[in-house]
Structure 1
Amino acid sequence: MGMITRVGIVGMGHVGAHVANSLLLQGVADEIYVTEQCTGADDHTAKLRAEVQDLRDSLAFCPHNVAIFDCGDDYGRLAACDVIVNAAGNVTLSATDRDGELFYTTETAKKFILPLAAAGFDGRWVNVSNPCDVVATEIWKLSGCDPRRVLGTGTALDSSRFKNVLSQTTGIDQHSITAYMLGEHGASMFAAWSAVAFGGKPLAQLRDEQPDRFRFDRNVLEEAARRGGYVTYAGKQCTEYAVADAAVRLVRAIVSNEHVIMPCSTLMTGGETTYGEEGFFTSLPCVIGADGVEEIVHLDLTASEEEQFHASCAHVKANARRVGLA
């Protein structure tokens, strides 16, 4: 990254606005470039202007000053950014199923991916828009960029929800828990129970040592992690804080060259590392640094977990075919 960290955001709805606010509060960016949601509608122009005003008004309470640029629908202005976050979507279409936005988000993405590629953008992408894995696949294919530079928030968020339910059940702080939801960011995701650990101790060992604390109904906890977003949506018709923070966590890992390990949506490259899957994006644990996804961490999944992974991949590939990406 250069001396000045520039982050672009496409779409300033609930998620995009919270991404911007989280960037400010964490002191991640020096410059933030924000754009409309590719529709050209007057209400989106007014919303963008309002968000920029509100964010600028908050700067006195942030760690350091940040220049915030209202780019309207001029997506090419984001070409100088280190990272671009795609938060363009229509959450009402995915009220019951994240696949509901499939045609909307993939059509919308074409309106900014191609102009940015033409403008020479060579930074990193962090995709939030749903279905996250399909849109990330589209960004890679249409932009022609190195696939390692395209990341989807994917199951980073769902893994956080998984840690939350494990923490609520055991009383152990989330930061001391290793736990991954894997596969698509959608109904077919699954918990990699074989990799769950508390302070380095495998869950299987703790179940024997402290059965009263660590023996619980796995199906109930896994479903709570899978459906957490819909609990949030049911009460306020959107999800915003957690998914925005997941996106900013990926941005921070990139611009700080952290080499942190966390799950995100990345290109399946075939071979043992991706369990033989190839040619599309979905979530596995990754080492994330300045180059984006620097390494995929291979887990020794059980036979049952591998079956779940392949079933989840089949769903992503089916959706990709529906929009001509496979």
Structure 2
Amino acid sequence: MNIAVIGATGLTGHQVVVQLILKGLVGPMDRVQLVGRPPAEARLRGMVADIRDAFFEAAPELDITLSPEEIAAEVIVFAAGVTLPTDSRTPMTRDALAIANRTLFETYAQAIARHGHGHELVIVVSNPVELGVSIFAHHLGRRRVFGMGAYQDTLRFRREIAGELGLARQRVEAYMLGEHGSGLVPTWSSLRLHGFDPEETDQLRRRLRRGLTSAGYPDTLANETKGIRALIEAGDLGEAFRHIGTLPADLRVGLGPFATHYSGAKTAVATANATVDMLRVVLSGHQTVMAAQVALKGEWLGLDTVIGVPVLVGHQGWVTVNPLPLDDDEHAQLCAVGRGVTDKLREWEAAA
């Protein structure tokens, strides 16, 4: 197996490489390309030396690649580019992030389209993930490109539910769809708790939601985000985390990573873990349903945009959308988020 990690010297890219080895997805018979730009060559060489020192018997072949044209892999993880600053006093808007990373998305997507073998699968980690998926899908074909945001948000959603109920996460089935960031769409109607009958699940669902409706979720998340930002700017991170812990599970999914990022710890370990787990699913050889940002062309709910939805995936890409039985408010919210993403993509295209 040949895997390329673009942005290997970044916090998340580095973690992806290490976790690929620790979780046994690559070994001595495999090859991992560490992709960076020429100024990062020395750091990449140091990274190779460190990894070989740590995992000599288990390490794959490690290649350093400094040119997009030289990428050669079955699966490519894109984790390069600008990230949001951790200083809340110097915030960066999503629009500025999109403008900063758009050229990098285009450069690598065009190079892979011209020089690749035509069957690469690309997992976009960098933000805005919807923009990255849009650009790579345009150049490589939409079935071969995934954004990992919805997968990570879904894992977080299941973990929050499982933790509150005292269950293993594997017993929880629920999806967090929509846009990675402020456009999350928790699909409580998709909740299944293995070992519980429908009546018991309904009771637990009501308990978990604490009266927060799907229609009220977007405004509540926006208001809570403002409150958490104010606490962070006041230097009271402890109170920010304490308050988040008192909120319903779906709000914790949206606010927890926000506070973690601005704490200075960032979310590199969790992001890499979700990315590697997504890789494991894609490479398993079996068709599996998972949440991912993909470029839709009307396959579900008439959505014609890049958005997080449940898709059936295999080793050659995503095959089809796996529809969920959404309630009316979830349906309306997901469609509204889709329209919002479409507007943003048009604005970012016009600003290029």
Smaller-chain TM-score range?
0.7 to 0.9
TM-score normalised to the size of structure 2? 0.80
Aligned match of 2:293 in 262, 265, 287? 265
SS at match of 2:349: coil
> Which position in structure 1 is the counterpart of 2:244?
none
> Which position in structure 1 is the counterpart of 2:64?
70
Work out the CA distance in 1 between the residues paired with 2:252 and 2:273.
20
Work out the CA distance in 2 between the residues paired with 1:21 and 1:50.
14
Q: Is the 8 A contact 1:134 1:316 kept in 2?
A: no
SS at match of 1:91: coil
The reply on whether 1:277 has 2:270 as its aligned counterpart is no
Shift of 1:158: 0.8
Work out the CA distance in 1 between the residues paired with 2:289 and 2:137.
22
Work out the CA distance in 1 between the residues paired with 2:83 and 2:197.
37
CA displacement 1:32-66 (0-9 Å, x = unmatched):
00111x4x4x3x333322222222222237xx341
Q: Cα RMSD (Å) of the superposition?
A: 2.4
> Which position in structure 1 is the counterpart of 2:121?
124
Instruction: State how 1:24-173 maps to structure 2 within 5 Å.
Output: 24-29=21-26, 30-36=30-36, 38=37, 40=38, 42=39, 44-60=40-56, 64-71=58-65, 73-79=66-72, 81-93=73-85, 98-122=94-118, 123-141=120-138, 143=139, 145-173=140-168
Q: Where does structure 2 lack aligned partners over 5 or more consecutive residues?
A: 218-247
Work out the CA distance in 2 between the residues paired with 1:150 and 1:53.
31
Q: Where does structure 1 lack aligned partners over 5 or more consecutive residues?
A: none
Work out the number of aligned pairs and report it.
308
Aligned match of 2:251 in 219, 223, 226? 223
Work out the CA distance in 1 between the residues paired with 2:154 and 2:199.
19
TM-score normalised to the size of structure 1? 0.86
CA displacement 1:286-307 (0-9 Å, x = unmatched):
1221111122100111110011
Work out the CA distance in 1 between the residues paired with 2:127 and 2:205.
39
Q: Percent identity?
A: 24
Q: Is the 8 A contact 1:195 1:202 kept in 2?
A: no
Q: Is the 8 A contact 1:82 1:124 kept in 2?
A: yes
CA displacement 1:104-146 (0-9 Å, x = unmatched):
11111122221221113421111001111111011111x2x23
> Which position in structure 1 is the counterpart of 2:180?
185
Q: Is the 8 A contact 1:93 1:100 kept in 2?
A: no
Change (3 A) 1:146 1:66: same
The aligned amino acid for 1:11 is G
Shift of 1:204: 6.0
The aligned amino acid for 1:91 is T
Work out the CA distance in 2 between the residues paired with 1:173 and 1:153.
22
> Which position in structure 1 is the counterpart of 2:170?
175
Work out the CA distance in 2 between the residues paired with 1:223 and 1:118.
43
Work out the CA distance in 1 between the residues paired with 2:13 and 2:253.
23
SS at match of 2:292: strand
